[in-house]
Chains A and B, each alone.
Chain A
C-alpha cells in the first residue's frame, strides 16, 4: 500500500513501518548487549512497532491471499513477536539464546521492509 494512501487512511506509512522495524531491531540489540536483570517497559516500543508492522502485512495478505511471500513474512513476524513477548514476560529466565537467533530473523524482515 502506498505511503500516500496509508497516510490518507490514518494507517502507518511505509516509512513509519520501516522506522518501527529499525527501532525494534535496535531495542533487541540493546537488550542483547545489556543483558538486563529484567527486560523493562522500554522493550514495549519494540513490540508495539512490530505489531503495527504485522498489521500492515495482514492487510496486504488480505488484499492478496495467494501470495506465498506474504504468508511467509507473516509467519516469520508472528514467530519473532512470540519470542519477543516471551522474552519480555518470561517464564523463568529470559530465553537469551533464542532471542539471539530471533534477532537474525528480525534483521532480515527489517531489511526486506526497507527494500519494499
Chain B
C-alpha cells in the first residue's frame, strides 16, 4: 500500500514501531485516518508518543509478538470473523497439505521434517498434497526427497488440491485452527503480559473494520524484524490480513515502514549480499548454478510472474557486461560472484575477528555503534589491514583505534593496531544528485543544490572512480580471475569540476533500454531473454521510460477530487503501481467489493482491468478465465483471472507457506534466544533454526539466568538518527537529546534503589556500560506466568563522538541471526542493571 493510503484505513495497528517518533512524516497519514474516524492501535512494550495518539495501547513484553498476533488469528477463526468470500477466493485456505505434515502442537514445538543433526527442516511434508511448490528465493530451496536437480512436481499440471468445504483435516483452515488453538486471550495475557480485555478490544476493532466495506492496515518496522523470529512475526500479520481481506485494497495492507532515506533502495539495487538487483537470486557456488542454463533451470519458478526470471536475469547481465555479454558466453554469467556461505554482517564480524578479512569499506554506516556486540566489532576492525570510512563527520568506527572501548580499557594499544584507517569526507544529501527509495517503494529523485565543500564527494563519485581506477590497474593483466573487471561496463558521463558521474545516466541504465538503439524501455513487459534488452533492475523499469523523462523527479499530487493514488508523485515500483495485488480489490466477477473500497475493476466494455491504480494483473485477463491444464500452462498462463497474488506460483495469498521459509510454514511462538521466561507454549524454548554463533566474546545467557533477570530492548529517537553521528554532531539536534539514558519502571527503580538521573550500570555477558536512569511509568512491569518480568529499554544511538554522547547500547547485545534473513536481534535480550558507575582505567571519559 502507499503511505497516503493509510488515510483510507478504518483501523490501523502500529506494532513493532514507534511510528510517531521514528516515522513522523508517515505518521501524519495515521493522524489523518484518525480524524476521519479510524481506530488507531499501538502494540508496544512502552507507552510512547505513538501510544499517546492511539485509541488503544496494548502493552506486550518484547519478544512475545507472535503470541499476540497468533491470538488474533485464533480469535478470527474461532469466532468465524474472517472475510470468507475474499479468503476462499484469494488465499490458500482450502488447499490440502501433504498427509505427512504434523504441527508443533503434536511435536513439542517442532514442525514435521526437523533434522536435529543440522538444526534445519526438510520441507517435503509441508507441500501441497501431490506437488512441490518452488520458492523464488534461491537459498530457500525446498529440501525434499525429490532430489536436487530442480525437477519439481510443478504446479503446471493441475491446480493444488482443495477442499472448499474446509472439512479435510489437512486443509490449511483446519491446520491453522489446530495450530493456534492454544493462542487464546488467556494465553496472550500469560505470555505477553497484555491484559485480556485490552487484547480483546484490539481483536474487536480489527474484525469490526474488515469485510467488503471496511479495511485495516498494519504498520511495522524493526520492532518486528530485529528478532530471531522476525520474518515469522511479519508472516503472522500477513495471515491476519489475508483472513480479513485486507490486502490489495484501499486502506488495507501490511506496510513496512522503511524510513531511512534509501533503505528500500538499498535492498532493491542491493547492498544485500545474497541478492542481485530487484530480488533476483544470487548464484551460489555450492548449488547447481554452474552455468546460466542450469541456474535458470533451477531458479525459474514454473508458474506465476517469477517465471519471467530469464528475461530479468539476462537483461541485467547485458546492463553489467554490455557488448561483452553474448549468448555464446552465456552473457558473462561466469563472471558473477558466487556465494560460498553466509556473508551477512553477523558472520562477517566474526570472520573479521578471526583475521580472515583484509579490509573493509564502510559507507554511511557506523557499526561500532549500530552493529550488535560492539566490542567484538572493534576487535574485528583491529584485525584488518585497512579500513575505509566515508562519512561527513568522524565516527566511532573511524576512530575505534584511538578512542574505542578496547583502547580505553587498555586491552589494545593504538600502536599495536595494524589497521590503516582512511577517513574520506562524504557529501550530504543536498550536495549530490540521486534517488531515494523508502516506504511504499517510492523512488524520489533529489537534485544537487550546492557543491560539496573541499574534498567531500558523493558515494556515486567514490564507487565510480574506484571502479575506474581498478579497471585501469588491471588493464594489463592476463589473469583469468581479472577478466570480470575488464568486461564490466563502467562508462557514465562525468560532470563538473569534481568529475561527478551523471546519476541520471545510472538511473537510465537501471530502467533499461533496447540494446540496438539505446532507447529507454517503458515497461518490464518489454524485457527479453535474447540479449536485445539491458536493464539494471526490472522492478525499476518505467522510472525513466523515455529520454528526458525522469518519473522519479515528478512532483504532481492529485488535485482535490482526484482518485488519491497520486500517480504523478515520483515513481513506485513496479510500473508506478501504488498498491500491490490490487486485483484482490475486486471480487470473482471483477466488481469492487464495495463502492467505498473500490480500486481496480474489470471493464467489460473494454475487456480490460481499469481503475484508480495501475492494475497488478494481466490487463486483458478476464476475471472468469481459468487455466487450461491440459496444455500444462506455465508462467501467467497457469494463473486464472481469480489469482491476484501473481508473484506466488498458484496466485494465492499464502496463509500456509509450503516452501521459502526456513523455520516453518506457520508462525509459532518461540521465546527470544535470551529470555527470562520459559516458553509456556512448547517444550522447545527458542527458534530451533536461529543462527547462533556462541564463542568467547559472544556468550549467550541461558533461559532464566538469575544473573540477567530483566528483559531488555533497544530503540531509536526522533532527534538522533541511527548510528548517531549525523545528528550528534549537530548542536540543534544534539541539544534535544543530550545524553544517553536507560528507561526503567518506577517499580523496578524502587526495587533497586535507583532514582531518576542516577547513574546505573547495565551488564550482559558481552559487556558493561554506564548510563543515567530515566525512571518512567511509560514502562510497566509485566506479569508473565504469574511472575513479574521487568522490561528495560535504551536508545542505541549514542557513542563517544559529537555533542550528545553516551555509552554504546550495542555493547550489551549478542550476535544472533534470524534464520531466513540473518538479521540481528536487537529487540529482546536479557540484562542486569544496578545503581552505580563503572570503574574506568584512566578516569572518566566518553563525555562523562
Q: Which A residues lie at the B interface, using CB under 8 A?
A: 35, 37-38, 40-41, 44, 47-48, 51-52, 55, 75, 81-83, 85-95, 98
Contacts and interface: CB of A to CB of B under 8 A. Distances in A.
Contacts of A47: 351, 354-356
Contact of B693 (A41, A48, A82): A41
27 contacts: A35-B117, A40-B694, A41-B694, A44-B350, A44-B354, A47-B351, A48-B355, A51-B355, A52-B355, A55-B355, A82-B340, A83-B340, A85-B340, A86-B286, A86-B341, A87-B341, A88-B347, A89-B341, A89-B693, A90-B341, A91-B286, A91-B339, A91-B342, A92-B120, A92-B139, A92-B286, A93-B120
Interface string B346-379: 0100110011100000000000000000000000
B355 A88 contact: no
B566 interface: no
Contacts of B143: 93
Nearest to B698: A41
Contacts of B285: 86, 98
Nearest to B141: A92
B274 interface: yes
**By CB atoms of chain A within 10 A, which of B341, B351, B695 has the most?**
B341
Contacts of B284: 91
Given A89-B342, A92-B141, A98 B356 contact: no
Contacts, number: 70
A90 B694 CA distance: 15
A35 B115 CA distance: 13
A83 B339 CA distance: 10
B476 interface: no
Q: Is the interface of A mostly helix, strand, loop or mixed?
A: helix
B347 A89 contact: yes
A91 B693 contact: no
B116 interface: yes
B562 interface: no
B572 to A, nearest CB: 31
Interface of B: 116-120, 139, 141, 143, 274, 284-286, 339-343, 347, 350-351, 354-356, 481, 692-696
A85 B351 contact: yes
Contacts of B118: 37-38, 93-94
Contacts of A90: 341-342
Contacts of B120: 92-93
B117 A37 contact: yes
A106 to B, nearest CB: 15
B9 to A, nearest CB: 38
Contacts of B692: 38
Contact of B341 (A37, A40, A44, A91): A91
Nearest to A90: B341
A88 B347 CA distance: 9
B784 to A, nearest CB: 30
Contacts of A37: 116-119
B765 to A, nearest CB: 14
Given A38-B692, A52-B355, A91-B286, 8 more contacts: A40-B695, A47-B351, A48-B354, A51-B354, A85-B351, A86-B340, A89-B341, A93-B120
Nearest to B694: A41
Nearest to A48: B354
A93 B286 CA distance: 9
7 closest A-B pairs by CB: A86-B341, A41-B695, A89-B347, A86-B340, A51-B355, A95-B286, A89-B342
B356 A85 contact: yes
Nearest to A38: B119
Nearest to A52: B355
Nearest to B117: A37
Contacts of A40: 694-695
Contacts of B695: 40-41, 44
Nearest to A44: B354
Nearest to B347: A89
A88 B341 contact: yes
A87 B141 CA distance: 18
A79 to B, nearest CB: 10
B274 A91 contact: yes
A8 B424 CA distance: 35
A98 B286 contact: yes
